[in-house]
Amino acid sequence: MKINDFLRYMECEGLKKVVLTKRENINYFLGKYFPFFSVLVFEEKPILYVGELDLEYAKDNLNIEVRKFTGWKEIFEGCDGVESELKIEFLKYLDNYKIVSEKLRELRAIKEKEEIEKIKKAAKISDKAMKYIIENPEGNEREKAIELEYLMRKEGAIKAAFDSIVVSGRKTSYPHALPEDREIKDILLVDIGACYEGYCSDITRTLLLNERGEFREIYNLVKEAKELVEDYLREGVSTKFLDLKVREYFKEYEKYFIHSLGHGVGLEVHEFPTVSKKEEIILKENMVITIEPGIYIKDKFGVRLEDLYLIKKDGFEKLSKVTL
């Protein structure tokens, strides 16, 4: 399917040879998690070039023609299509070329059945870890992050999809921060993801360990903002509209919402489409995105709630299911 779609695109665009070097684009077409050096070349059909050392492994484990990589000159000979992420060091091999990344982004954004299954599994794994920390929030930030990652690995993840965020107290006022060797207290923000067969999940919960009026008020505002988005979430809605809806809802707190509302998730934890006020993208069926409103008050605390959604014709399926 994917391969034929891309070959058809090449034909329509009059492209003779496309070279892909970005790992996630390659793995997309392989339909497998292959972490070793490789280059995917599309001519009449796709051919994967790998180092001599990985030749037998690739042949035995991938459903694609595999050849030995012998040098970049051969790879780029006659190439007229490349990714926007191609390193400029390869420019010397290129003459005229077209960037094919928009097509790749589009293809990858609409998930196929097997991709959805893998993302669902990744979401299930991060749900298990999130459930564990919700039930056991006491301890040390760093140690807790390690336990969560261990749990995700045991549930089938190849690795964490990104450096786990397990931070507490004032540190929650940073949307991103690394766990440290310090006791968890007051408010705990956990943003984790699993990588299952190359596909990612992404979920955030904020736990109020010491209830205070102020926390609860902000927490509810963020929670309601996410629910508001869910009211509109379906094929055909604009990402910009959703982001602006949340900003409008936050009123005087809008200035504390210092990131986009969400992003696509798949082989990369951040991929097309972004859900932000900066760009208008119309959601389509089988896109997978996060919605993650957040309010961060400097030197005090932050609250973020993030879920993972599969977009449907008339709504969505929430893939991250763990509740507080």
- The whole-angstrom separation of Cα 57 and Cα 286 is 33
290 binds a second copy (CB under 8 A): no
- Quick one: three-class SS letters along 35-59? CCCEEEEECCCEEEEECHHHHHHHH
- Cβ proximity to a second copy: between 28 and 296 the closer is 296
Query: Six-digit token pair at 132?
Result: 């564990």
The residue from 298, 313, 317, 324 that contacts a second copy (CB under 8 A) is: 298
* 173 lies in the binding site for a second copy (CB under 8 A): yes
Cα gap 299→221, rounded to integer Å: 19
Local structure of 307: helix, strand or coil: strand
Of 115, 149, 191, 271, the residue at the interface with a second copy (CB under 8 A) is: 149
Cα 31 to Cα 33: distance, rounded to the nearest angstrom: 7
Distance CA 254, CA 243 (A): 11
Give whichever of 195 and 310 is closer to a second copy, judged by the CB atom.
Answer: 195
Provide the minimum distance between the beta carbon of 244 and a second copy in the complex, in angstroms, as a whole number: 17
Residues near 85 by beta carbon (within 8 Å), at least 6 away in sequence: 21, 22, 101
Q: Would you count residue 150 as binding a second copy (CB under 8 A)? A: yes
Q: What are phi and psi of 198, to 5 degrees?
A: 95, -20
At closest approach, how far in Å is the CB of 164 from a second copy? 9
Contact 42, 9 (CB under 8 A): no
CB of 57 to a second copy, least distance (A): 4
Q: What is the smallest separation between the CB atom of 198 and a second copy, expressed in angstroms?
A: 11
Q: How far is the CB of 272 from a second copy (least distance, A)?
A: 14
- In angstroms, the CA 260 to CA 137 distance is 28
Dihedral over alpha carbons 45, 50, 53, 54 (to 10 degrees)? -60
Q: Does 112 bind a second copy (CB under 8 A)?
A: no
**Distance in Å, CB of 146 to a second copy, minimum:** 4
Cis, peptide link before residue 35, omega less than 30° from 0:
no
Q: How far apart are CA 63 and CA 314, in angstroms?
A: 36
Q: Tell me: does residue 255 bind a second copy (CB under 8 A).
A: no
Q: Does 174 sit near a second copy (CB under 8 A)? A: yes
User: Is residue 188 a contact point for a second copy (CB under 8 A)?
Assistant: no
62 part of the interface to a second copy, by CB under 8 A: no
177 touching a second copy, by CB under 8 A = yes
Lay out the site mask for a second copy across 3-22 (x = CB under 8 A, - = otherwise).
--------------------
Degrees to nearest 5, angle at CA 316 with 258 and 275 = 25
Among residues 1, 45, 77, 84, which is the contact residue for a second copy, using CB under 8 A?
A: 84
Does 212 contact a second copy by CB under 8 A?
Answer: no
* Residue 86 binds a second copy, judged by CB under 8 A: yes
Query: Whole-angstrom Cα distance, residue 163 to residue 152?
Result: 13
Point out which residues bind a second copy (CB under 8 A). Answer: 33, 35-36, 51-54, 56-57, 60, 82, 84-91, 99, 101, 146, 149-150, 153-154, 158-160, 162-163, 173-178, 258-259, 296, 298
